[in-house]
Structure formats: C-alpha cells, structure tokens
Amino acid sequence: MAHYFENEGLAKSDEKSTKAIIQDKLFTFITDHNVFSKNGLDFGTRTLLESIDVNNIKGNILDFGCGYGPIGIFLASHGLTVDMIDINIRALNLTKKNAKINKVHANIFESNIYENVVKKYDYIITNPPIRVGKKILYEILFEAQKYLVKGGHLIFVIHKDQGAKSVVKDLEKKYYVKILEKNKGFYVIDCENLLTTC
Ligand SMILES: C[S@@+](CC[C@H](N)C(=O)[O-])C[C@H]1O[C@@H](n2cnc3c(N)ncnc32)[C@H](O)[C@@H]1O
C-alpha cells in the first residue's frame, strides 16, 4: 500500500465527502485513499487551525503539503491569498475540487519540497509530513526560511511523540520560536524569520 506522499501503487480511487466546522465555519472536503487523513479533518490540523488568529494574518501564505486542502481552503475562505503545494497528485486534484466546492480561490501546484516555489511568503503554514523521515522533515522546516520574507512566519503542528521538543530546540538556532498552542500532545509552533534572505 502506497504512503500518503507517494504517487505510485495507489489504491483504486474511492472518494468520500466529509464535513468539518473550523472556527464556526462549515466546510465540505472530498477525501480519498492514499491521501492524508482520508476520514476527515485530522486532529493535529484542527489544533493548528483553531490556534490561528485569522484576523491578524496578512499577506501571502503558502500551505505546504496541502493534502486534500483543509489548511489553505480555511485561510482562503477568510479572503487571504494562498498558494497550496503537495507532492501527491491525487491530493492536489482533491484540493482543486475542494477549493471549488467551498467557493474559494487558491493557486494550487505540484512541488517536491520547495522545487517549484518561486515566491517569498509572509506565512508558511503546515501540518508537515512526518513519515518521510527526519532528513526531509528538517529540509522542509529549515529551507522554509528561504521562502519567507524578513519577519515572516513558519507555523506548523507536531506531536510530542514525533519529537516536538527536540525539533523546537533545533529550530531555535535559526528562528525566533514560540509555542502557540499545546493540545493533547500536539504542539503548534511559530517560527519567525529574523533574517533577510535572498
Ligand atoms: C501530514 S500531511 C498534511 C495534509 C494536509 N495539510 C492536512 O492537514 O490534512 C502532509 C502532506 O505533505 C505532503 N508531502 C510529503 N512529502 C512531500 C514533499 N516532499 N513535498 C511536498 N509535499 C509533501 C504529503 O503528500 C501530505 O499531503
């Protein structure tokens, strides 16, 4: 069985409609096999989204590893400008469908890590892939700095059993790090980029 970040050896498509209320707004999300959290909104993703003060977010946002789209679609539903990327083509097709269903606009494209990303963002927001291993996870979290404006934020969720505390310690070498939320072992971590990058 393929992992949720692979494009080969996928199970036959079996789309399913799920619903989620996020910060008092109702969303419909189509999910499928071989896409992260196919049974509906993941608790880590929910913790991340509930901890974000959308009224205080301005500028360009990148939803890294969008899956079927809950993070970017939630943010776009608040009128924010959102790019959404994933390596998983099935996930990207669902995101396009879900953006239409929820009547939001977003720029949705395939990218392996940041290879097709050309802009700098005010926010990179993600429930990052963990099963890809520490090397790729760290590439996603540390390389994010190159795609953030000075003062931009990388905001992500990680569970304590997935090494949240040591990840925070390592990220503190590069970013100004704050923990926004802790809920049932999930940490929402805000990393501010203090550097001007080129
Ligand atoms: C934990 S899931 C989160 C999905 C979605 N944002 C959510 O919260 O439901 C992580 C996502 O990262 C994607 N991903 C894994 N490796 C990637 C890579 N190298 N480049 C881009 N996306 C990747 C996976 O396909 C998956 O959709």
Domain boundaries, the chain: 16-192
pLDDT > 90: percent of the chain: 91
Task: Report the DSSP pairing between strands 121-126 and 60-64.
Answer: parallel
Radius of gyration of the chain (CA): 16
5 lines ligand 1 (CB under 6 A): yes
CB 69 within 8 A of CB 94: yes
Mean pLDDT of the chain: 95
pTM to 2 decimal places:
0.96
Which of 38, 87, 186 to probe ligand 1 with, by most ligand atoms within 8 A of CB?
87
Q: What is the pLDDT of residue 2?
A: 67
- Tell me the residue type at 115: E
Size (the chain), residues: 198
34 lines ligand 1 (CB under 6 A): no
129 lines ligand 1 (CB under 6 A): yes
Distance 142 CA to ligand 1 centre (A): 16
Cβ partners under 8 Å of residue 138, min gap 6? 170
Mean pLDDT of 1-28: 86
71 lines ligand 1 (CB under 6 A): yes
Fold of 16-192: Rossmann fold (3.40.50)
Per-position b or e across 148-185, b if 16+ CB within 10 A of its CB: bbeebbbbbbbeeebebeebbebbeebbebeebeeeee
pLDDT band for position 10 (50/70/90)? confident
Report the distance separating Cα 145 and Cα 196, nearest Å.
9
pLDDT in tens, 80-92: 999 999 999 999 9
